[in-house]
Structure 1
Amino acid sequence: MLLLSTFVVALAGLGGAKPLSDKRWNDVSVKHRWVEIPRGWEFHSTPPEDHLLEMRIGLKQNRLDELVSALYEVSDPTHDKYGQHLSKEEVDALVAPHPDSVEAVESWLQYHGINPADAEFRSAGGEWIVIRVPVAQVERMLDTKYGVYYHAASGSSVVRTMEYSLPTELLSHIDVITPTTYFSTLRSMRATSFLQPQTAPLEDAASFATDISPLAVPASCGTTVTASCVRALYNTTNYVPAATATNKLGIAGYLQEYANDADLQTFFKQFLPNAVGTTFTHVQVNGGLNDQSDPGVEANLDIRNQFAEAISFPTPNIYYSTGGSPPFQADSFTPSNTNEPYLDWLNFILNSSTIPQTFSTSYGDDEQTVPEDYAVSGGFWYVMTNLFMQLGARGSSIMFSSGDEGVGGGNCQANDGTKKVIFQPAFPASCPFVTTVGGTTGVNPTVAVSFSGGGFSRYFAQPSYQTASVTPFLNALGTKFAGLYNATGRAYPDVSAAAEGFQIVINGRVSGVAGTSCSSPTFAGVVSLLNDFRISEGKAPLGFLNPLFYSTAKSGFNDIVSGSNPGCGQTGFTAGTGWDSVTGLGTPDFLRLQALLP
């Protein structure tokens, strides 16, 4: 199957030579360079020379093509290997770098006085090496100068460089080094939820705890979404999980957002009384915290979503609180500051022997925050996409919210110097190896919510699993929006779920919340039940979902045929019959999907 865009990385010319005696490391080439400071950031100051960076070196994976093939074999419901997911050890073997790459990188480190055996972290497959190095030394190694850059909109400060170089010999051995020129951080990213003060909280929430018949979902569920509403909307009301000893649902949290135990119990009392007393597991990753005195909107929305739980209960849920996004303070006592916690979370999960069968994450950013030559091959997004692929190969289903900006937020100008206005796809929503969830609103009819993120990647080619579904949409679109989007790119969202009017508990009070952060964990709750059903029958979990959803399970979705996702000064795409770039294949019907499983 077509995996990534076939654009070839265009490496820049030779950079300035370092005053090194060893010619092996003296010949350097630019790995990546920004022409101008990425939009939204400004240079603030020069970091102290002894400021420590956690330098992450991503080595090229020697058998990646085999991993891609294996993923599609175990994910294609018509293949005889469907469901035969790879073990951790098998995945590790496929992502391991070639011995020549290991030798070259370790020799380079030793040349700079770094003992590879002293690495802070080495992934099980050996494709990641993490070392803690002062800024001054990193500058010598990468032939660059770092600065402290400030992002006014988020209040985030990071230590980054405008360009970096590598010895030419290492270009064929190293995919990416961070932190370098990737500026966006989770703090500058958008958490895809927002409060809805205009949505009055329920005064008598307990009266909404009664199950609703899927055959008669009241119109009120279109504006005031409760636990009973989502169970009825997606036809899960009468399903009782049977594989709770094995099946688990994981929620990834960042930005000092903490899932609050007390609020969860209040939510249960109000909306799901039979779950009162149920707890969830807190897992802290890379300095992530669990401050019960400071609950977050995003975390409370996500964990057991308070709605993922409404659907998946009593399936065990795990909330991963991942650190790695502290503001930079310009002094020598500041701890390392990478601000790329996605890598920390993914490496933590992939280094675990047992992992949840279902995941949901609700953060994202514009795809163009990394230029194409840095994203498609040998860059941060490229590496991230490969990590998601590893999760799928091991049998996990990964949901991401599609974003809350329609076809793009802000002025939508390209960051390639042209300032051309184009639709702005989001990442990780545009990753080919995740299931991206858009947003809907209303009941009878259910329509696309106007902020539902959707579009076409400019970095990743359209995978063949979705071509048959996407082509009719493109044909009907014709020349409309020509030049504003990439018609050959990976199309998203894949599916959708309700996205506004959700009643959650924050600081003990019921509040209204909206966003595709509502959609993703809600959809994940449905997937968790599908995994429960498979496991209870002695079968493997679903793993990577898209090849199944776009083929034999396509009729398990409720088609959404109206609504649009405006942005960038345009009306945006319009929902219609079949797949569309607003609501994807539609919203799930659990019982129909259950009957369609292999």
Structure 2
Amino acid sequence: MRELNKRALERRGGILGSANDQSNPKQGPQVLNALMTLENCDTMITPPCLQALYNAPPGSMSMKNNTLGVVEYTPQAFLQSDLDMYFKQFEPRLDGVSPNTNLIDGASIQTKNQSFSFNGESALDLEFAMTLIFPQQVTLYQVGDLVNGGSFNNFLDAIDGSYCTFEGGDSKDPSVDGQYPDSLPGGFTGAQNCGGFASTNVISTSYGSNEADLTAKYEQRQCLEYMKLGLQGVSILYSSGDFGVAGNGGQCIDPVTGAYNNGTNGLFNPSFPGTCPYVTSVGATQIVNGSTVRTPESASERVIFSGGGFSNVFAMPSYQQKAQATYFAEHAPAFGADRFNNSQKVRGYPDVSANGVNYVTAVDGKFSLAFGTSASTPTFASLLNMINEQRLNAKKASIGFVNPVLYANPQVLNDVTNGGNQGCGTAGFNSTVGWDPVTGFCISS
């Protein structure tokens, strides 16, 4: 891993993909019997549970140039033996199949470090995405070498060569973006990848930072690239975070010093890139204990809390104006500017939510439960991918940036009105009728 100063590492909550990256999924108990029955979906989420929850049919087509993009950051890596273990249980036709793998900036599928901390994210993302969209394939973008690491910008460089030089490129913040060739011993000595790989129509990323980790200028530059990709027909999805209104690791912001604290008080800590208006931010829901796939879900309050709130950097997009006006007029939160940007002029997140609790995942040779918006994001991405399959089959274009359509047609999504996203010593926001900064609009049954 590249050398970061102590303050930068603390603010980031762990380098992307590292074992201490707080945006990684959270591990639950081991599962002795990974059952496919719908009767157990309140305690074990499997692909059949998700298909039943969201009335989603199994994948049926494999349209040319419509693989689902999943982004991972080294040293996070999948083990083929884990994929095979999972597929034998849930989709035998995938046994022995690997994702289409693109290695960016010296990336590798490392096998030296094996634990949930190193394999859990990749296993969760790939096992569910590959199963849900089969026979369509998944394209894995593995980013960064084992020494220097990688960033969201390094990935964007690889799928759009012009971004490498846009507004000065990545060299202005070497503490965040991997610099290639890597001068550190053992690092990747090749040139920075600029436009070496094509983008898929849907890209799912289950990692995130805090807005406060980065400068506004850095975030605004990156956000413009997401706008460009959206205009080109690419749907960009990021997880909204797992700590409610707090940032990665449950940290909140001291209102006087601006430093992170232990999370028992302070300012809410919004996530990035989910607060970029050109990204679809995905929160998390859960099936209530004792309920079924036909019972309305609630906001996730088991192990994780759906990340949500309001940006301190980005203005409210026009597509969100009506939803926010209704939210503040009818469901105004009990706290104000002492906790969050309540100007009613900034971007709110998440946009949508899907189940993110109790995912049965094969990691390091055993089944265990996984929790996080790391789970809900590839699930929602899989649904978008299958919509694109139908559109392409009908000779139509891919859906691209989906937020304006979702906000203009909330009736196509069911509402989640229970639960909250506590943090920073508060109850956080509450799930309400319509859009809210806990679950956004939901695809609940």
Fold match by TM threshold 0.5: yes
Instruction: Report the equivalent of 1:433.
Output: 278
The aligned amino acid for 1:319 is L
Q: Percent of aligned positions with the same letter in both sequences?
A: 34
Q: Distance in 1 between matches of 2:335 and 2:368?
A: 38
> Displacement of 1:233 after TM fit?
1.3
Q: Is the 8 A contact 2:9 2:15 kept in 1?
A: no
Q: Is the 8 A contact 1:447 1:562 kept in 2?
A: yes
- Corresponding residue SS for 1:558: coil
> Displacement of 1:563 after TM fit?
0.5
What TM-score do you get using the length of structure 2 for normalisation?
0.80
Are residues 1:284 and 2:129 paired?
Answer: no
Q: Could you report, residue by residue, the CA deviation over 1:430-460 in whole angstroms, capped at 9, with x for unpaired residues?
A: 1111111100111423110021000000100
The aligned amino acid for 1:317 is V
The aligned amino acid for 1:434 is V
Q: Distance in 2 between matches of 1:411 and 1:348?
A: 32
Q: Distance in 1 between matches of 2:28 and 2:13?
A: 30
Q: Distance in 1 between matches of 2:426 and 2:26?
A: 23
Instruction: Report the equivalent of 1:139.
Output: none
1:300–1:476 CA distance, 2 compared to 1 (3 A): same
Q: Is the 8 A contact 2:286 2:297 kept in 1?
A: yes
1:577–1:477 CA distance, 2 compared to 1 (3 A): closer
Q: 2:31 aligns with which of 189, 201, 205?
A: 201
Q: 2:375 aligns with which of 510, 518, 543?
A: 518
Q: Distance in 2 between matches of 1:562 and 1:499?
A: 15
1:260–1:415 CA distance, 2 compared to 1 (3 A): farther
Q: How does 1:49-448 map to 2 (within 5 A)?
A: 149-150=5-6, 185-186=15-16, 187=18, 189-197=21-29, 200-203=30-33, 205=34, 207-208=35-36, 218=39, 220-243=40-63, 245-292=64-111, 294=113, 296-303=119-126, 306-323=127-144, 326=147, 337=148, 341-350=151-160, 351-352=195-196, 354-370=198-214, 374-375=215-216, 379-409=217-247, 410=250, 412-414=252-254, 417=257, 421-442=266-287, 443=292, 444-448=295-299
Instruction: Indicate the RMSD between aligned Cα atoms, in angstroms.
Output: 2.6
Instruction: Report the equivalent of 2:182.
Output: none
| Higher strand fraction (1 or 2) | 1
Q: Distance in 2 between matches of 1:587 and 1:191?
A: 22
Q: Distance in 1 between matches of 2:13 and 2:150?
A: 9
> Displacement of 1:548 after TM fit?
1.1
1:543–1:588 CA distance, 2 compared to 1 (3 A): farther
> Displacement of 1:230 after TM fit?
1.1
Structure 1: 5+ residue runs without aligned partners?
Answer: 1-52, 54-146, 157-181, 211-216, 327-336, 590-598
The aligned amino acid for 1:538 is K
1:391–1:507 CA distance, 2 compared to 1 (3 A): same
Q: Could you report, residue by residue, the CA deviation over 1:6-63 in whole angstroms, capped at 9, with x for unpaired residues?
A: xxxxxxxxxxxxxxxxxxxxxxxxxxxxxxxxxxxxxxxxxxxxxxx9xxxxxxxxxx
1:191–1:479 CA distance, 2 compared to 1 (3 A): closer
> Displacement of 1:536 after TM fit?
0.8
1:564–1:284 CA distance, 2 compared to 1 (3 A): same
Q: Is the 8 A contact 1:268 1:276 kept in 2?
A: yes
Are residues 1:539 and 2:396 paired?
Answer: yes
> Displacement of 1:518 after TM fit?
0.6
Q: Distance in 1 between matches of 2:321 and 2:388?
A: 26
Q: Distance in 2 between matches of 1:431 and 1:184?
A: 21
> Displacement of 1:185 after TM fit?
4.2
Q: Is the 8 A contact 2:107 2:146 kept in 1?
A: no
- Corresponding residue SS for 1:469: helix
Structure 2: 5+ residue runs without aligned partners?
Answer: 161-194, 260-264
Q: Could you report, residue by residue, the CA deviation over 1:248-285 in whole angstroms, capped at 9, with x for unpaired residues?
A: 11111014111222211111111122333433112111
> Displacement of 1:416 after TM fit?
6.2
> Displacement of 1:311 after TM fit?
1.5
What TM-score do you get using the length of structure 1 for normalisation?
0.60
Which protein shows a greater Rg?
A: 1
> Displacement of 1:478 after TM fit?
3.1
- Higher relative CO (Cα under 8 Å, sequence separation at least 6) belongs to 2
1:578–1:287 CA distance, 2 compared to 1 (3 A): same
The aligned amino acid for 2:130 is E
Are residues 1:481 and 2:304 paired?
Answer: no
> Displacement of 1:325 after TM fit?
6.5
Q: Distance in 2 between matches of 1:276 and 1:289?
A: 22
- Corresponding residue SS for 1:190: coil
- Corresponding residue SS for 1:485: coil
Q: Is the 8 A contact 1:531 1:541 kept in 2?
A: yes
> Displacement of 1:239 after TM fit?
4.9
- Corresponding residue SS for 1:222: coil
Instruction: Report the equivalent of 2:364.
Output: 507
Q: Is the 8 A contact 2:68 2:201 kept in 1?
A: yes
Q: Could you report, residue by residue, the CA deviation over 1:491-550 in whole angstroms, capped at 9, with x for unpaired residues?
A: 111001111110011122111111110110111111110111111111110111101111
1:233–1:427 CA distance, 2 compared to 1 (3 A): same
Q: 2:353 aligns with which of 457, 472, 496?
A: 496
Q: How many equivalent residue pairs?
A: 385
